Each structure stands twice: as C-alpha cells, then as structure tokens.
Amino acid sequence: MLIALVREVSPTIDRCELTHLAREPLDPARAIAEHHRYARALAGLGCEVQWIPAAPALPDAVFVEDTAVVVDEIAVITRPGAPSRRPETESMAGALAHYRRVVTIAAPGTLDGGDVLRVGRVLYVGRSARTNAEGIGQLAGHLAPHGYEVRSVEAQGCLHLKSAVTEVADATVLLNPAWVDRRDFDGLTLVEVDPAEPQAANALRIGTAVVHAAAWPRTRERLEQRGIHTVPIDVSELAKAEAGVTCCSVIFES
C-alpha cells in the first residue's frame, strides 16, 4: 500500500519563503482548494492519504516533501536550508516513526527533500541554496549501509533539483537542460521539457501515472507521446509559493 503524507495549507502561506519568484498576491483559500483536489487525486491513484498535524503558524508547512527522505528501510528527517522551515520536521518525524526507523540530518548540514531525486537505488541530490555538501554527505552516510548510492549534482536557476528533473517512468526522467546538466543522468532515458515551459520538469510519478501541473500542456503532450499516462492538476495558486506537484506530499510503501 502507498501512504501519502500531506498537511493542510497554512493560512499564512502568503508569507512563504521565496527564492526565484517575485512575491505576488496569493489567495490562501484558493490554495487550500487546490491542495484538497491534489489530495483527492492522490487517493484516486491508489494512495492512502494521511494528514499530519496542521501548522498554521508555519507558512511553508504544506510543502512536506522538504522535511523527509523516505526509502524502504529508513526515513531521514532533513534539516531544511531555510531556518524558518526547521520547525516543520518534528511532526513529520512523529508520523514516519509509525512506519520506519527515523534518523536525522544534523547541523551544520542542510538538506531539503525537494533536492533529492530517487531513481532505483541511486539518489541524485542537488547542491542548491537549501542543500549543502555536509547535508549530502550525511544523507549518503545514512543510506550507504542499505545499498543506496548518493550522487551530488548541481542545479541552477531553480529552487530545488526536482524543479529541474523528476522521474516519469522506469529509468526515465523529465528535465530542463538549462537547469541541470544532462550528463549527470547518463544511462537514463531523458525527456526534455518544451522550451516554452521551463518549469514543467516537476512531475510526480505514482505507479504508472504521472501527476503534472495543468499549466504545461506542451510538455505533457511529449510525455503522452511516449505512452506515459499523465494526470493534470491545477496548482497555479500554490505555484506562486514556488510549489510543484512533488512538494506537497511524502509518498512511500507502508
């Protein structure tokens, strides 16, 4: 069974952290409605959706992906690069303790889950403004005993690695070659985003389906032409907070 951990949108989301986008008016009520439709879509794809405790005082709390990296054997609780986000991790650790042994990233390491892309037994980790070399090294140390390889790669021009590249099928990734180096993913099948849709590389694979932001139809057509079933969903209000479809859930097998 697939478990999808999610958390309600904070009513203070309009005060979220921003790195690459200019702040613009953000309607919390609309963001909440989008997020509920997102949760229903996950349920429709076979996930058991579980809501972890709300955190109304934490503007970015809905973006639970950044708080944990979960593999079959353990859960790694991160230390987010933005100090304002570090209080988000405690409730995620409590939720994951029901399913996995929990370990943590310690100072001075920083690691955002949005910088971690797992493809089989390899985890690509983006060096970004939110994730440093110490955090990557600690993650590698936690995972190596379980047979995982961690590869550090550079992401530029975007918030997280998974803003630039995500898995959409077995050994197949969707990427924006302006934000990551194609050579870092040698051995995988690469599908490039449509040049007119640079933000379209963020996709959430669930089984044989791929959840994808409705705003990027040209890139979605490229996926469909390869036989990849896509599920478009409107996250346009959440996107004003630099959100993608991966960042609002932590999904793993129970």
Active site residues: 160, 247
The four Cα atoms 21, 23, 28, 32 give a dihedral, to 10 degrees, of 0
At 5, list the tokens. 């951990």
* Cβ contacts of 140 within 8 Å, gap of 6 or more: 150
DSSP result, 90-141: HHHHHHHTTTSEEEE--TT--B-GGGEEEETTEEEEEE-SS--HHHHHHHHH
Q: What gap in Å lies between CA 216 and CA 198, rounded to an integer? A: 9
* Cβ contacts of 213 within 8 Å, gap of 6 or more: 199, 200, 202, 232, 233, 234, 235, 236, 239, 244, 245
